[in-house]
Amino acid sequence: MKRLKKLKAKTKLIVTITLLFIVSSLLPVQVEAFTPSNADDAMTAFNNVFWDSTNKYFYANSDHQIHSEHAFGPDNGLYSDFWWEAQLWDTVMDAYQRTNSSSYRQQIDDVYDGFLAFYPSFNSKFNDDRAWWALACARAYEITGETRYKDSAKSLFDSIYTFWDTTYGGGIWWKNDGTQDEKNIATNATAAIVAVKLSKILNDSTYLTKAQNIYNWVKNTLTDGNGHVYDHISGSGSGTVYKWDFSYNFGVFIGSGVGLYKETNTTSYLNDAINAANWAVNNLTSSSTMMYEGVNDAGGFKMILARYMYELVTQCGQTQYLQFLRDNATQAWNHRRLSDNLVGADWGADTPSTYIQSLTAAAAASILNHVSADNYTGYIPGNGKYEAENATINGISSESYYTGFSGRGYLAGWNTNGTWVEFKVNVNSAGKYMIKLGYSAGAGNASRNIIINGSSYISNLTFPGTGNWNTWNIVTLNDVPLNAGSNTIRISYDSSLGNSNYLNFDYMSVYAMYEAEEATLHSLTIENKYTGYTGTGYIAGWNKDGQWVDFNVNVAKGGTYTLILRYAAGAGDASRYIYVNGSGVANNLLFSGTGSWNSYNVVSCSIPLNAGLNTISIIYNSSFGSTNWLNLDNIELIQPSYY
């Protein structure tokens, strides 16, 4: 893999948005269940656009034109480059293993033959490129039993392993041309997976020993030992570790752990893989959707993480990740463009009408073909938590210097016109939502422009000063209207609107919000006498049996949700009976006194909800202990996490 492209991907991630997503017009999307037919359609579309059956090679771009931003493959970049073609071969194998189709079985051979026509000796100065081909060849042998694939896998690995030495305590060098400028996880963890496969294919335990040696060096040098996987080490002496966060690094580390666990039954390998998967799910996502990492090489990174997380599910019984993977497949398919069924690099956003790179398109085709379908129909809101450092960023840097932030870091040094951060937000139903913005304003009050779906929503929202940069606060926006499906929320700096001062921005949370005065009331009245409420008022005069309120809520998926109730209890502690879909959930939920009717607080409880329509009832029932007066303002629903 060309390091220049990896560096460009990193820059896109933390500094600027790709022009592609600024200028392109977007085509409509269509919500369908994630079914085997979707996987068929995705792979058919991929082959229709990218496969050249004459030359037996994949085109680099959907328009079959050469674009200078990534023109490294045959015919001056008309076709995909060395390591891309290995990933696209894996995508074909994903489709074959799902379908057992004879056409995909033939294509496995055709891709290999077409590649050798251009690269007869697998010549590349990058050992990670050659490791990807070794890995794909080993997989092809497992599928087909053809000796040539086994021989190529062995020959490639053996030549790569000659670049192991004791610099930095071990590891295989990234390049084989004498440069020797770094050792990275893409080369080493990938080689470890290959070595495990060869130990079984060849019945040769020396390869297992090599796999363990490589793995131990990777774990000790390029991870924190608790799930955080780093990118590479370079420099003089003991070297400097570069802690770049790319999803495919986590993927191959998980894959090497899974392989070694299956071969040795050593639980530490499994635990390492679980820790890495947890770290990736919690830190490399945007409301549980795998984050946009850029285009070029980065457009295919998610495919590698998904592939080996699915091995963790299917080979190690770690089913807690299955819904995460299925939801990501659904999210990607929901955002395809209908003109050709291709999916872009950002699975949370509609696919642009511009050309799509083959590696980018393959990522979605791959996850649809190697993850089992769940037949779910609908949008994927995820868990509602959007980390700012994982969003689309223009002109703002991320850092992790101050303490107390969530995720991997926060956006910092933000005080210049034209800078912004944009979130792609997907919700299952049109309606009102609560948006919480986590921030630090150590230099005093700051303000920003809030733009929703292209229109200014609040031109000069104030973020009150927090006293110092280690202290964090939340600004809450109530009753924000969002559309079903895709939405964009942009927070920008524009001094002409009054925006001012530095701001460190941590995250955004989006949760469904229901105003009590808009619910179905039973012997209750609406009032707006006291201040501080949201919407147009609140429920009041509530202190006797036979009084209750029903909220009809629609959720994407069943599960245990967190119900948050905003209220005022000026007469002291009150309590109510919580009833969901015909069953009691909390007999006597306490609403602690708020001191006055102008003061509000929140209380929460866990409730089970079904996919689709549900009824949440808050009831005064003295037989369960309900007491005292209560003004109810609104309720908020927080989606369940995956595990």
Residue with tokens 């050659």: 130
Q: What is the CATH number of the domain that holds 568?
A: 2.60.120.260
At 103, list the tokens. Answer: 């056409």
What is the average per-residue pLDDT within 167-191? 97
Specify the pLDDT at position 227.
97
55 within domain boundaries: yes
> Predicted confidence band at 601 (pLDDT cuts at 50, 70, 90)?
very high
The DSSP annotation for 255-301 comes to HHHHHHHHHH--HHHHHHHHHHHHHHHHHSEETTEEPP--SGGGGGH
Specify the pLDDT at position 1.
65
Residues 276 and 404 in one domain: no
- H or E element: which one contains 232? strand 232-234
> Predicted confidence band at 2 (pLDDT cuts at 50, 70, 90)?
low
Specify the pLDDT at position 561.
95
Quick: pLDDT tens for 269-285. Answer: 999 999 999 999 999 99
375 within domain boundaries: no
Specify the pLDDT at position 568.
98
Q: Which residues have a Cβ under 8 Å from the Cβ of 98 and sit 6 or more positions away?
A: 36, 39, 369, 370
Compute how many other C-beta atoms are within 10 angstroms of the C-beta atom of residue 11: 11
Residues for the chain: how many in total?
643
Residues 525 and 470 in one domain: no
Residues 70 and 100 in one domain: yes
* Strand blocks (E) in 326-405: 385-387, 392-394, 397-399
Q: Where are the alpha helices (DSSP H) in 284-380?
A: 301-316, 322-334, 358-370
Residues 166 and 119 in one domain: yes
Q: Any long-range contacts for 482-485 (C-beta under 8 Å, 24+ apart)?
A: 482/425, 482/427, 482/430, 482/431, 482/432, 482/433, 482/452, 482/510, 483/427, 483/430, 483/453, 484/379, 484/427, 484/428, 484/429, 484/430, 485/29, 485/31, 485/334, 485/379, 485/426, 485/427
Specify the pLDDT at position 642.
63
* Strand blocks (E) in 88-157: none
95 within domain boundaries: yes
What is the average per-residue pLDDT within 69-96? 97
Q: With a cut of 50, say whether residue 4 has pLDDT above it.
A: no
Residues 309 and 219 in one domain: yes
Residues 151 and 265 in one domain: yes
**Angstrom distance (rounded) from CA 72 to CA 583:** 62
Residue ending a domain, choose from 461, 484, 511: 511
Quick: pLDDT tens for 44-62. Answer: 999 999 999 999 999 999 9
What is the average per-residue pLDDT within 329-338? 96
Compute how many other C-beta atoms are within 10 angstroms of the C-beta atom of residue 323: 18
Residue ending a domain, choose from 370, 400, 415: 370
- H or E element: which one contains 553? strand 548-555
261 within domain boundaries: yes
Residues 524 and 479 in one domain: no
Q: With a cut of 60, say whether residue 27 has pLDDT above it.
A: no
Strand, coil or helix: 331: helix
198 within domain boundaries: yes
Question: To the nearest whole percent, how much of the chain has pLDDT over 70?
Answer: 95
Residues 156 and 249 in one domain: yes
Q: Which residues have a Cβ under 8 Å from the Cβ of 515 and sit 6 or more positions away?
A: 432, 479, 534, 535, 536, 633, 634
Residues 426 and 330 in one domain: no
377 within domain boundaries: no
* Strand blocks (E) in 430-541: 431-440, 446-452, 455-463, 473-482, 485-492, 504-515, 520-522, 525-527, 538-540
Compute how many other C-beta atoms are within 10 angstroms of the C-beta atom of residue 165: 12
Residues 137 and 89 in one domain: yes
Q: With a cut of 60, say whether residue 64 has pLDDT above it.
A: yes
Q: Which residues have a Cβ under 8 Å from the Cβ of 272 and sit 6 or more positions away?
A: 219, 223, 227, 253, 257
Q: With a cut of 80, say whether residue 185 has pLDDT above it.
A: yes
380 within domain boundaries: no
Q: With a cut of 90, say whether residue 404 has pLDDT above it.
A: yes
Specify the pLDDT at position 23.
34
Instruction: Calculate the average pLDDT of the chain.
Output: 94
378 within domain boundaries: no
What is the average per-residue pLDDT within 170-192? 97
Question: To the nearest whole percent, how much of the chain has pLDDT over 90?
Answer: 91
Residue ending a domain, choose from 316, 347, 370: 370
> Predicted confidence band at 6 (pLDDT cuts at 50, 70, 90)?
very low
Closest CA to 298 of 139, 119, 83, 130: 83
**Angstrom distance (rounded) from CA 298 to CA 592:** 50
For the chain, the domain total comes to: 3
**Angstrom distance (rounded) from CA 223 to CA 464:** 38
Half-sphere exposure of 563 (CA within 13 A, CB side): 26
- H or E element: which one contains 52? strand 51-52
Quick: pLDDT tens for 482-512. Answer: 999 999 999 999 999 999 999 999 999 999 9
DSSP 8-state class, residue 319: G
Residue range of the domain that includes 486: 385-511
- Torsions phi, psi of 147, nearest 5? -60, -35
- H or E element: which one contains 565? strand 559-568
Q: What is the CATH number of the domain that holds 147?
A: 1.50.10.20
Residues 389 and 294 in one domain: no
Specify the pLDDT at position 30.
57
Residues 434 and 577 in one domain: no
* Exposed / middle / buried, residue 418 (Cβ in 10 Å: 0-12, 13-18, 19+): exposed
